[in-house]
Structure 1
Amino acid sequence: MQNADIPDAQLASAQPDAPELALPKLARQRLHDTVVDHLREFIVEGQLAPGVKLNERKLCEVLGISRTPLREALKVLAAEGLIEISPNRGATVAQLSEAEIRDMFELMSGLEAFAGELACERISETELAQIKALHAAMLLCRAQNDLSGYYSRNHAIHDLINIAARNAALRQTYVTLNRRLQALRFRSNFQTAKWDSAIRDHEGMIAALEARNGPALSKILRGHLLAKRDAVLAERTLSVAGMSREK
């Protein structure tokens, strides 16, 4: 966590500061969880980009809070691996290396594939109906070009499949890893073709769940996650190449 003794002058380093953000002032109820949720959303949706130094004063103004609840929230996000805190540099949004991205997506593909097999055995009709409703809402967001709404429903579908697996150990591992990958999963849908490909995968997921076909759902989920890995790595390569040309 950022050292309380570090003066504000040191916080304004040469690194890029967090951009100006617009958000209504927070109610005091459930303040801690609300602050964590908002900061996590800023990171996932790219408002706080990888490598950006967090300016505590600006974030406190945006969220309408003091530094104490902000720093408590930063502790949580640091534990999740979403930010990195240095005693001398303060807090910055974490950046994953190419190897870390590859390893994490490969592991997540295995976790989701296994969850899919179990879910086909254990999912309830109510859960299946919820997934279908989320899929319909996701299609509406796609039609409206609403990436944020699309992603939130996409995320909820994968989460419900994992919950339907009824395996506590799998659930804990999935939640921990997925928090580190959310921002990358969000950005993997920036291209229209990627959106449409993901929608086709989701239609196949629902068909496999309805048929209680574990192997089929497992295969779709594994391929779905590996496609996201490839999209993220391709985007990263283009970004690095672009920065090299600018130099």
Structure 2
Amino acid sequence: MSYAVPPTRTAAVVRQLRNEIVTGELPPGTLIKDAELASRLGVSITPIREAIAQLSVEGLIDIAPNRTRHVTQVTQKNALELIDVMSVLACAGFEWGVDNLTDTHLDLMRRRQKEFTEALRLGNVLAAGAAGADFSSIVILASGNRELQSMVDLVVARTMRILAMTAESGLWNVWIQGHDEIIALLEGGDTRAALARYRQIYVDYRDRVERELFEDQ
């Protein structure tokens, strides 16, 4: 994930709609209407339809057999399954990349962690999510496997959207504390312990999501 300016109108619409879905501005079940979106975003129908197709691939929009489109509904099952998939992909990338980290990588990880916590302090959930994802991406990309990173990126937006956490959510603390401890372990040269701590983040995160976000299911 990055802060780069999208190169096309379609990419800009994808980013805008993805952000609205992730933050809950477009809640689950919302009916998606091409003309309304085109008017609101000031673009033609074509980039809207292309963006909807992309977001359907990402699992953020459901397209029914009758061609009506809705923001994907949230259930405990798909939330926990996404976390499980994210865990498998991200932990594999972390394991493959952790031994290749340099001082430059560590400096970047410290910077992203600072951006992560600062964005939360300012209430900017999207920036926090991007910085938090970049923290892991630094290690995954150090593995040299860009295909894996592409797969992780695909799941990140879906996971964030399903959780739709506010800046005040205590769930962020699982990542903040975990990242801080991982940096300390890497600074001490203990890559195996850093990997184990990274895996534990997902165990703790899944448990808290199940207990705190889906108590009535």
Q: Given the two structures, how large is their TM-score scaled by the length of structure 1? A: 0.74
| Residues 115-154 of structure 1 mapped to structure 2, 5 A cutoff | 115-154=93-132
Which of 70, 81, 88 in structure 2 is aligned with 1:110?
A: 88
| Unaligned runs of at least 5 residues, structure 2 | none
Q: In structure 1, what is the equivalent of residue 146 of structure 2? A: 168
Q: 1:57 to 1:231 in 2, by over 3 A?
A: farther
Amino acid at match of 2:77: A
Following superposition, the deviation at residue 185 of structure 1 comes to 5.0
8 A contact 2:94–2:136 mirrored in 1: no
8 A contact 1:51–1:94 mirrored in 2: yes
Following superposition, the deviation at residue 83 of structure 1 comes to 0.7
Which of 200, 215, 218 in structure 1 is aligned with 2:195?
A: 218
Which of 1, 7, 15 in structure 2 is aligned with 1:37?
A: 15
Deviations 1:154-187 (A, max 9, x none): 1221222222222234324323333321313552
Which of 52, 57, 70 in structure 2 is aligned with 1:92?
A: 70
How many residue pairs end up in the alignment?
Answer: 213
8 A contact 2:124–2:167 mirrored in 1: no
- Asked whether 1:54 is paired with 2:32, we answer yes
Identity %: 25
- Between the aligned partners of 1:65 and 1:213, the Cα distance in structure 2 is 51
SS of the residue aligned with 1:237?
coil
8 A contact 1:106–1:226 mirrored in 2: no
CA RMSD across the alignment: 2.6
Which of 46, 55, 58 in structure 2 is aligned with 1:68?
A: 46
- Between the aligned partners of 1:28 and 1:131, the Cα distance in structure 2 is 24
- Between the aligned partners of 1:185 and 1:155, the Cα distance in structure 2 is 15
Q: Given the two structures, how large is their TM-score scaled by the length of structure 2? A: 0.83
Q: In structure 2, what is the equivalent of residue 244 of structure 1? A: none
8 A contact 1:151–1:186 mirrored in 2: no
- Between the aligned partners of 1:212 and 1:168, the Cα distance in structure 2 is 25
Q: 1:134 to 1:44 in 2, by over 3 A?
A: same
